[in-house]
Structure 1
Amino acid sequence: MRIVLVGLESSGKTTLLKSLVSKEVKVQGSNVKGSTSNVFEVKEEQIRYVDTPGIRLGSELVSSQYTEKMADSADQLWFVVRGTHFKTELEALEKIFSFNHKSVALIVTFEDKMDRESLQALHDFKAKTKFPLYVMDTRTINSSVGKSVIQLARFVTSSEIDELANLPIQKVKESPTLFQKRVIGPYLALFTVLSIYALPIFLAYQFSKKAEGFVGLNILRPMKSWFSTFPESLKTLLFGDFGLFSLGIYSFMWAFPVVLLFGLAVAITEESGLKDRITDSLDPLMRKVGLTGQDLVPIISGFGCNVVAIQASRSCNICTRKNCISVISFGSACSYQLGATLSVFGASGNIVLIIPYIFALIVISLIHVKIWNRRTMVPLFQKRESFLQWPSGQILWFRIKPVISQFLLQAMPIFLIICLIVSMFELLGWLDYLKNFVAPLLVVSGLSTEIAPAFVASLFRKDGILLLNQGSGSVLEQMAPGELFIAVFLCSTFTACLVTLMKIMKELSWKDAVMIAGKQMTTSIVSVILFSILFSMYE
């Protein structure tokens, strides 16, 4: 049996699915609207549960195409509506889907936030009509509820739906916050989001700075001593300028805390509902650059992982999606990129550069999308009222665990392979050819050819920026702060990493991917040239 869950954004479909099945669900429900951006299916015994992307009122979303297709294939169709917004959401779903062509069930979520009179009206209606209706708090139910709903599901009549829609169900309003203030709200939201994501960077730097001396004295020095009698070629591979141990351990120490703490910050803001309030409030500012407040959700997600963020852009309006992807590609510094940047700035003694760096990424990416996509017609943005809540430790760990796993099992192994390849280039004398190949671009940008390995590596993965730490920081010591800033910015923005470009190609087309990459290269080069002129004026 195939059971498809449909509902508006933030109605609780994914959290419901997680509670219904006994096996671990890899997709975590979220209090932020649009958190499910693709179809997700899980099999439990002989039943296939299908979670679909949320519908948004008055908007033409890419993800809606997936939802409608899955609804047609269902044996049972479960409609999920928030009890706090019962009439609005029921009416919206009734306009999109047919309630009397399939066996259906109506799941009413957010029971804990509904008033007593509304709950009583629903229970009385169910008792009188035997309507396939369940009222629940999806965070507290267990898997046995699913079997009960399956048995209760049936064909319903139009008159039953009409009677249900006329029940005296009261709408529950969200608690007002300063984010709703017309004048100060957007600027307060912008300050809040910058503060939230600056905190993990600050804490990670404090930890890594203190750990640096310990690692060098107690780990790297004994290892170098132990390998002192080995062949020079092996010592170059392990402890050279791009050594597997010398650069790998050092880079892990700087990158991992950022990945961990940034992942925690993202999880907290999403699961608490704070991100929802922020995106609603920032809509007026986002519209000025061809985006909506909702588009900010995948953009912020890009600071965790660009690939995940581009998939999440399916929850964007069709007409603004390319704009959103352009901003993600240019300015959403993934956690690996942030960790590498923090490592380079910290090792050079110029950690304060992280502030103008992040500011430049945000501002220039918005200018970039505004210049290249001036004709985009931005649709009206309908705010969805969400509720602030304390995220549970279990949910936070569920969200952080894959971040840690991805870093340890994917990101770091690939970076270590990059270290080995560049070390081999150094042994074979090929680094000079590499430097000569990219020299024209670096010269135009006012940079030394010494950054060539980091620049080329960053085209494949953004944590390739860590190669600027070559020679235990000796190259960094020779670079002025302005030159270092330009080098990191160029490596970060010249193009998206290869994996991100492949994801753009898959989600859009190869032509769109080429166009986005070409526009990004142009903006990046123009930006670094302007930075070079600006810094030269103050030397």
Structure 2
Amino acid sequence: MHAKRREIDVIAPDPVNLERPPLRAGWQNTPRYGPLDHTVAGPAIAIVLLILPAVLAVMGANQVAGWLDPLIVSVTTPLAESIDGWPGALGAVFAGDYGLLTMGPLLFVWAVPTVLVYSVLISAYKASGLADRIGTALHPLLRPFGLHGRDVTQVLMGFGCNVPAIVSTRACLSCTRPTTVGAIAFGSACSYQLGATLAVFAAADRSSLVVPYLALLVVATLVYTRLISKPDMRATLSALLIESRTVLTWPSIAAVGAEARGMIWAFFRTAVPIFFAIAMIASILEWSGALDAAGPLLAPAMAVFALPAEAALPTVLAAVRKDGILLLAEAGTVASLNATQLLVATFLAGTVLPCLVTAITIGRELGVRFAGGLVLKQSAFAATVAATVGWASVLLVG
């Protein structure tokens, strides 16, 4: 007889928890409170920091040009005088008013030092985290204009080159990206544009115009973004979605060097050859008499902005490439412009249209229809601002 098997349920013991409960240490790893975090003083300091690189770039370029200009002129002037008698367009291309030996020194004496200093400073801003901290401080001021604090980083990047800045707006909020792209295309004076503009001011012995130029550019950009932005982004509830205080560190030489090298190399690779091409085209137009013939036709268009006809050629060429602004430094053109007219001419040449490469990039990123509409809006607004400033000066000053 088989014994009946008894089944006994065996219950396993509860697992022993050997982990200790976390203990609160009583401290947090947060960035130190600084001047940029002050409610009132922070935005003011941020604005000063935005303008500071351009001012320092001008001061540095003036110092370099002070001893470099006589050396360059002593070499190019005799050479230009010997070439001036060459037959045909060849003499005009090399030694004319817009010739390579005439305009080339302006590029290397004034524009190149400006680009070098500015590239290093902007690279230091980004490598240290200061660019992000500036954006955080400016967010309360930017919100009514439809911009986000974090968009400042992309706008600052545009001061090196608009193209990578526009591509980087993929990281922006989808609702602020069109406005940020518009701000870059209109108000981010790339290193080519800014270098040429500051070189024109220096060559005209009006370096003090850099402050009103930047002020006009900033104010006009804010008004422009206000007009093209969505109402939702200007709402009070539009909050900053990044950490309130970015960690600030001393920028490493390697990081600053890598960033600055990219901007400087892009300038020499792109801007310098195109500038020489523009100078050659202008020289041939002058030699052929086309500029003299176009003067009566362009004078009414320039009169809209209270500008002489001499400012027409740089404005047209700068609309394609911002390097063309440097043609405003030609001796005859500079002599025909007073301080306000020079300010209006450089502003109009730099903002009436995004450069061709920038417009193509916008079309590739956001569509051809959006790019076309943005170009029309930018042209109309830039022309309105330039005409307003030009004629206001005429009416107030005479």
Q: TM-score, normalised by structure 2?
A: 0.88
* Displacement of 1:374: 5.3
**Cα deviation per residue 1:349-403 (whole Å; 9 max; x = unaligned)?**
2221111011100011101111233524354212324322112212222112222
Q: Map 1:107-506 to 2 at 5 A.
A: 171-217=28-74, 219-227=75-83, 230-231=86-87, 233-373=89-229, 375-377=231-233, 379-384=238-243, 385-432=245-292, 434-435=294-295, 438-470=298-330, 473-506=331-364
Unaligned runs of 5+ in 2: 1-18
Amino acid at match of 1:419: A
**Cα deviation per residue 1:163-218 (whole Å; 9 max; x = unaligned)?**
9xx8979751111112112232222222222224422222123322442222112x
Amino acid at match of 1:461: R
Q: Aligned equivalents of 1:464 and 1:416: distance in 2?
A: 10
Seen in structure 2, the aligned counterparts of structure 1 residues 228 and 482 have a Cα distance that, compared at 3 Å, is closer
Tell me if 1:518 matches 2:357: no
Amino acid at match of 1:422: A
Higher mean C-alpha displacement, 504-513 vs 474-483 = 474-483
Amino acid at match of 1:327: A
Amino acid at match of 1:403: M
* Displacement of 1:438: 4.1
**Cα deviation per residue 1:493-520 (whole Å; 9 max; x = unaligned)?**
1111111111111111111111111111
Matched with 2:387 is 529
Q: Aligned equivalents of 2:81 and 2:146: distance in 1?
A: 58
Could you say what the CA RMSD is over the residues aligned between the two structures, in angstroms? 2.2
Matched with 2:9 is none
Q: Aligned equivalents of 1:284 and 1:479: distance in 2?
A: 39
Higher helix share: 2
Seen in structure 2, the aligned counterparts of structure 1 residues 485 and 438 have a Cα distance that, compared at 3 Å, is same
Corresponding residue SS for 2:233: coil
CA contact (8 A) 1:310 1:504 kept: yes
Q: Aligned equivalents of 2:296 and 2:182: distance in 1?
A: 30
**Cα deviation per residue 1:458-508 (whole Å; 9 max; x = unaligned)?**
0111110111123xx122112221222111111111111111111111111
Matched with 1:63 is none
Amino acid at match of 2:34: T
Q: Aligned equivalents of 1:173 and 1:322: distance in 2?
A: 33
Higher strand share: 1
CA contact (8 A) 1:236 1:243 kept: yes
Matched with 1:20 is none
* Displacement of 1:226: 4.5
Amino acid at match of 2:303: V
Q: Aligned equivalents of 2:67 and 2:384: distance in 1?
A: 38
* Displacement of 1:229: 5.7
Seen in structure 2, the aligned counterparts of structure 1 residues 437 and 309 have a Cα distance that, compared at 3 Å, is farther
CA contact (8 A) 1:239 1:247 kept: no
Amino acid at match of 1:474: G
Q: Aligned equivalents of 1:401 and 1:437: distance in 2?
A: 43
Matched with 1:128 is none
* Displacement of 1:404: 2.1
**Cα deviation per residue 1:215-256 (whole Å; 9 max; x = unaligned)?**
112x21232244356335322110101102211232222111
CA contact (8 A) 1:298 1:310 kept: yes
Corresponding residue SS for 1:288: helix
Q: Aligned equivalents of 2:24 and 2:83: distance in 1?
A: 78
Q: Aligned equivalents of 2:148 and 2:355: distance in 1?
A: 26
Matched with 1:538 is 397
**Cα deviation per residue 1:312-371 (whole Å; 9 max; x = unaligned)?**
211211111111111111111111111111121112222211110111000111011112
* Displacement of 1:278: 1.2
Q: Aligned equivalents of 2:186 and 2:297: distance in 1?
A: 24
Amino acid at match of 2:273: P
Based on CA coordinates, which of the two structures has the bigger radius of gyration? 2
Q: Aligned equivalents of 2:82 and 2:391: distance in 1?
A: 48
Q: Aligned equivalents of 2:170 and 2:292: distance in 1?
A: 43
CA contact (8 A) 1:205 1:342 kept: no
**Cα deviation per residue 1:57-111 (whole Å; 9 max; x = unaligned)?**
xxxxxxxxxxxxxxxxxxxxxxxxxxxxxxxxxxxxxxxxxxxxxxxxxxxxxxx
The count of corresponding residues between Structure 1 and Structure 2 is: 373
**Cα deviation per residue 1:6-36 (whole Å; 9 max; x = unaligned)?**
xxxxxxxxxxxxxxxxxxxxxxxxxxxxxxx
**Cα deviation per residue 1:107-138 (whole Å; 9 max; x = unaligned)?**
xxxxxxxxxxxxxxxxxxxxxxxxxxxxxxxx
Q: Aligned equivalents of 1:167 and 1:399: distance in 2?
A: 43
Amino acid at match of 2:33: P
Amino acid at match of 2:392: L
CA contact (8 A) 1:252 1:412 kept: no
**Cα deviation per residue 1:387-438 (whole Å; 9 max; x = unaligned)?**
2211221222211222222122211001101111121222222224544554
Q: Aligned equivalents of 1:515 and 1:167: distance in 2?
A: 58
